[in-house]
Chains A and B, each alone.
Chain A
Amino acid sequence: MCPADDAPEPCEAQDAPSTDAAFSALLEDSVEDLYESAPCGYLSTLMDGTVAKINATLLGWLGLERRDVVGHKRFADLLTVGGKLYHETHFAPMLQMKGEISGIALEMKRADGGRIPVLVSSVVKHASEGEPLLIRTTVFDASDRRAYEQELLRRKQEAERAHRRAETDRARLQEALAALQQSLLPASLPAVPGVETATYYHTAAPDRLGGDFYDLFALDGARWAFFLGDVCGKGPRAAAVTSLTRYTLRAAALHDPDPVTALSTLNTVLHERYTGGDPRYCTAIFGILTPDRETGHVAVTLASGGHPPALVIRGDGGTDFLPTPGGLLVGVLPHASFTPATTTLGPGDTLLLYTDGLTEARTGPDRAELYGDRALLDFVAARAGASPKGMVEALTGLLESLGDGVDDDTALLAVGVPRTPASSRPATDHRRGRQ
């Protein structure tokens, strides 16, 4: 710009008058021509919609004569029926409420029966006293834009359909997962005379399919079988092995309840099924409970295949692992040896089976340490004499306190003899861990 107080300095603005003249001569434009031949439609209507003025561009688009429109037609008359209804129910009320409206998609009728998609903006012009005088409207040809919008709309509708399908599929999958999950664990444990049981189960995988398992079931009127184990891995593939393991052990136990024999049968089945590219194996403790109605004591015979040893918590305070050294992982080798062990539970005694989700939970400020066997032993020893239910409750609290340090599936099965022998009423407490 030319500084006002710096006249001696020549600058471009001195040429401005000649430039303006050149532009005017070149354009030969007038306000009238600018209105009539603008690249958009113009029209002005009275407040009741009657067209008072319309430019040549819009008349040309519509194929109408000025004399047929001005004073004779209302703006809504120039619209298709759909556009007219839309105008009456949305456009006009909004314009009346707000005094202006912009970019509304409407369709106008042509004299030859065709239609033009347009974008319409209107503003109410007011008199100096504030009275609304007339409505000024601009109309843009939106044929190309409408085609583009329709394509967008079509894509959006497709996306919405795909989304609905995905939601349906997800719901169906969740239902299937829930059914499968239920097949992996007993819905409830049977009552064992003179015995109280408690369980806890938590899956690390968000689909709730776990690789840990447990069960307890009647063999005959005098004996009950139980097992608890851990399939390598987690998620759906582990769950498939879990399912096979559970039903194999159940069937094997009914055929021959000897713990070593049952685990050997499972070993044969898993090894046969999963030889090749996808080796799958598990660790497990399988055992038999034989309650003695006379003494109230329960004889326990069990065998372990590579599983962390069970804990025996005596009501009088003596707590120790029930060692089962040398038992091999189940399903790795064609023939595996398993180590049996026995014990007897008296009043106040509890047998605790657990998976390494508990003992290998990460602890410490940076989650660098494992919880460990020793800590577990101390924890349960400090609670000696607690009922199986009380013990599992305490351990549930412990697991919750470890938070996201528990990054594997976790299962607990506690079997104990109450201090005051109860009848054979169901005495099972089931706990499901947080998801």
Chain B
Amino acid sequence: MDIRRRNNIRITGRQDGPTIVLAHGFGCDQNLWRLTVPALAEHYRVVLFDYVGSGGSDPTAWEEKRYSALSGYAQDVVDVCEELDLRGAVLVGHSVSAMVGVLAARVAPERIGSLVMVAPSPCYIDSDGYRGGFSAEDIDELLASLESNYLGWSATMAPVIMGNPERPELGEELTNSFCATDPDIARVFARTTFLSDSRDDLKSVTVPTLVLECAQDVIAPREVGAYVHAGIPGSTLVTLAATGHCPQLSAPEATNAALLDFLRGLR
């Protein structure tokens, strides 16, 4: 199987630099890293990919069973690392991909040398003594909302093709596919993401880890960032002055600065 095509792998940046793999979260694709890549490209080799079922991946490779567990997504990460024969790469995972990165690092420790977890949450649902930010009913509502957005997803979410005078770097080709996902696949990804509980996996992390949280994030609130930081011994927690769940877009300078700071410390 052609992993490069399956996962729409793109490699950019400095080819002889240390390798950084950027893993997107639920909802979008590798384009989410548009404002991150330029900051890394000077010194690092940057690997971008889409999970099977997202972005420009090969949808025929998607299997419901495999992608109904975070381990299936972790296998995508491992497949990408093996395809490129990476050793000791830095894996930057956004949102659910932060925990996917934890699983991947455990499966392929020789390939992943450090982790950056952007807006991570090991469990979205509240339970005894743990506050994930959502109740089980909330998550059911999200899943129902995905159902009711069925038309929105297939038609309305397909972005309008038009010029982008303020941001000429965002070409039509990229914005065109951004976030456009098959509704059936998105439903499985959403369920897997928001019903997962990976809290027990945190303690398995042994590599240098940076936890990047946002000051205001309804999906991954501050308590969750603190929980992840406490669960991974030796990890570094940085709170970005950012609102929302995508600091790499809403506060790219601060996000890139924190990321580069961590990367410099690894040398």
Contacts and interface: CB of A to CB of B under 8 A. Distances in A.
Interface of A: 47-49, 74, 76, 80-86, 88-90, 92-94, 96-99, 101-105, 107, 117, 124, 126, 130, 146, 149-150, 152-153, 156
B245 A88 contact: yes
Given A81-B142, A94-B179, A98-B175, A88 B244 contact: yes
Interface in B152-182: 152, 156-157, 159-160, 164, 166-167, 170, 175, 178-179
A84 B219 CA distance: 9
B170 A76 contact: no
A117 B138 CA distance: 17
Interface stretch (B15-23, B25-33, B99-107, B198-206): B25-33
A96 B150 contact: no
Contact of A84 (B26, B31, B170, B218): B218
Contacts, number: 118
A82 B244 contact: no
A103 B7 CA distance: 30
B28 A81 contact: no
A88 B194 CA distance: 13
A47 B216 CA distance: 13
Interface string B197-238: 000000000000000000011110000000000000000000
B60 interface: no
Given A48-B243, A98-B164, A104-B152, A81 B138 contact: yes
Given A94-B179, A96-B249, A130-B166, A89 B26 contact: yes
B34 interface: yes
B145 A85 contact: yes
B164 A105 contact: no
Contact of A89 (B134, B144, B156, B245): B245
Interface residues on B, range: 35 or more
Given A81-B134, A98-B175, A105 B170 contact: no
B34 A76 contact: no
A122 to B, nearest CB: 13
A89 B166 CA distance: 23
B181 to A, nearest CB: 9
Nearest to B181: A90
30 contacts: A48-B244, A80-B145, A85-B142, A86-B145, A88-B219, A88-B246, A89-B25, A89-B26, A89-B95, A90-B157, A90-B179, A92-B245, A92-B250, A93-B28, A93-B32, A93-B249, A94-B157, A96-B249, A96-B250, A97-B32, A97-B170, A97-B178, A98-B170, A99-B166, A99-B167, A105-B149, A117-B148, A130-B166, A150-B148, A153-B148
Which of A76, A81, A102, A149 has the most chain B CB atoms closer than 10 A to its own CB? A81
A89 B219 contact: yes
A105 B151 contact: yes
Contacts of B157: 90, 94, 104
Contacts of B152: 103-105
A76 B156 CA distance: 19
B146 interface: yes
Contacts of A48: 216, 243-244, 250
Contacts of A152: 151
A98 B159 contact: yes
A98 to B, nearest CB: 6
Contacts of B159: 94, 98, 101
Contact of A93 (B27, B141, B148): B27
Contacts of B134: 81
A107 B145 contact: yes
Nearest to A50: B243
A164 B178 CA distance: 29
A97 B218 CA distance: 20
Contacts of B28: 89-90, 93-94
A76 B133 CA distance: 15
B166 A80 contact: no
Contacts of A153: 147-148, 150-151
A89 B145 contact: no
Contacts of B175: 97-98
A416 B100 CA distance: 70
Contacts of B179: 90, 93-94
A98 B178 CA distance: 10
Contacts of B167: 97-99
A97 B216 CA distance: 19
A97 B249 contact: yes
A97 B219 contact: no
Contacts of A102: 156, 160
A94 B178 contact: yes
Contacts of A107: 145, 148
B243 to A, nearest CB: 4
Contacts of B147: 153
A114 to B, nearest CB: 14
Nearest to A102: B160
A56 to B, nearest CB: 26
Nearest to B25: A89
Q: Nearest 6 CB-CB pairs, A to B?
A: A82-B145, A89-B27, A48-B243, A105-B152, A96-B249, A81-B138
Contacts of B218: 76, 84-85, 88
A86 B151 contact: no
